[in-house]
Structure 1
């Protein structure tokens, strides 16, 4: 595991690990918390419509989640109608994909070297027992709210379990590195008027690339200032009011 890939083998897994698997030809990844005994707690939508935009995209883009398998798993049963925080076996979670480990406490250089978001963060992970408590508590109380690709997705769930951090401002996107990367890319494109600062194609690439890197960096959960630590019991109580 390193700069080129976060891929790991199953025998390297430890309870409390934040894992993920790429879906739909590496378009996006599905994230969860490994809790041991071959089980993963993760956050999803029913019927395999994992992106949860509330648009026509939900009818076009499907995940490879357990709800998308043709035959019910002998261990998990039929999870096609389940939504929210669920627990699946590792095979169902991966859905024939590869296993990757999300990295915490990485250096700024390492973070920026990983050009694709949703693979690492500068934030510090809490001890595994705390991580497992959050994941299991949210599972028992179905306590992570409504799924939203922009504000409350599977990566947001896993990052919260690992750090206890939530975004304080209601207008902001969530903690997801995948969405932060998308936002940074849009910002880089929108910054095209900066082309007037350079007259060459390489110069434009440098400007756009710099804007992308800055956008990703300042949006990381370990850097941004609009986050607060919320105990899982308080989070669940607020959601169930």
Structure 2
């Protein structure tokens, strides 16, 4: 595993690892928490879909999490399951390769990882805390799936960090969603694109805006996140009152 790829072998897995696997020709990745014994707890949208837009595009670009005609002998038929579920590693990967999401990466490494949804500047909590959150949410749920605010990557990052977005107008913790919005903002919204008319100049400005947008959206530095106990998250149905961040109080 290195700068070009976070791919690992299953023999390298440890309980509490945040893992993912690319889907649909690397269009998106599905994320989960490895809990040991080749089992994974992860968050799905429902009807076998790992991610979705709620439009006809779902049938074109998104694959099912259970592509086999015969149900898994270990997991059973999970094609109609939704919310937080537990699957074997084989079903979770769905034929894809295994990758490890990285925490506490340096700024240089983060920027070099151009594709979002692979790493974060945030620190991970100890495995015992990660496994507790994942198991608790398996029993109690993680709210309603939302592609930009509450998706499978958001679930895994919360299990690893306990950090929850406490503003209603922002995207979730997902690096994939942040990258998509960053790319859109860099290409369409940034007024800096008018500073140059040359193709190289436009590419440089767009690339710079993309990197900045990804950086400020990362859960490791953004200010609209707060450490929230999993019991409070569930009891409040995912709605947490806006309070000064623990991170800000420490500073």
Pair in the same fold by TM > 0.5: yes
Matched residue of 2:156: which SS?
Answer: helix
* Distance change >3 Å, CA 234–CA 195, structure 1 → 2: closer
1:123 and 2:122 correspond: yes
**2:101 matched to which residue of 1?**
102
**1:160 matched to which residue of 2?**
158
What do the CA deviations read for 1:43-63 (whole angstroms, capped 9, x no partner)?
A: 002222332322222333332
- Give the Cα separation in 1 of the matches to 2:223 and 2:191: 28
What is the Cα deviation at residue 6 of structure 1?
0.0
Unpaired runs of 5+ in structure 2? 240-251
TM-score calculated relative to the size of structure 2: 0.91
**1:72 matched to which residue of 2?**
71
Q: How many residues align?
A: 239
**1:82 matched to which residue of 2?**
81
Does the aligned pair in 2 maintain the 1:6–1:102 contact within 8 Å?
yes
**1:93 matched to which residue of 2?**
92
What do the CA deviations read for 1:130-184 (whole angstroms, capped 9, x no partner)?
A: 000000000012x200111111100000000000001111111110000000011
Matched residue of 2:102: which SS?
Answer: coil
- Give the Cα separation in 2 of the matches to 1:205 and 1:118: 22
**2:244 matched to which residue of 1?**
none
What do the CA deviations read for 1:70-98 (whole angstroms, capped 9, x no partner)?
A: 21000000111110000000000001100
**1:37 matched to which residue of 2?**
37
1:6 and 2:11 correspond: no
What is the Cα deviation at residue 193 of structure 1?
4.1
Matched residue of 2:236: which SS?
Answer: helix
Does the aligned pair in 2 maintain the 1:86–1:139 contact within 8 Å?
yes
* Distance change >3 Å, CA 240–CA 195, structure 1 → 2: closer
Does the aligned pair in 2 maintain the 1:6–1:100 contact within 8 Å?
yes
**2:59 matched to which residue of 1?**
59
Does the aligned pair in 2 maintain the 1:23–1:64 contact within 8 Å?
no
TM-score calculated relative to the size of structure 1: 0.95
**2:146 matched to which residue of 1?**
148
What is the Cα deviation at residue 191 of structure 1?
4.1
What is the Cα deviation at residue 35 of structure 1?
0.1
**1:23 matched to which residue of 2?**
23
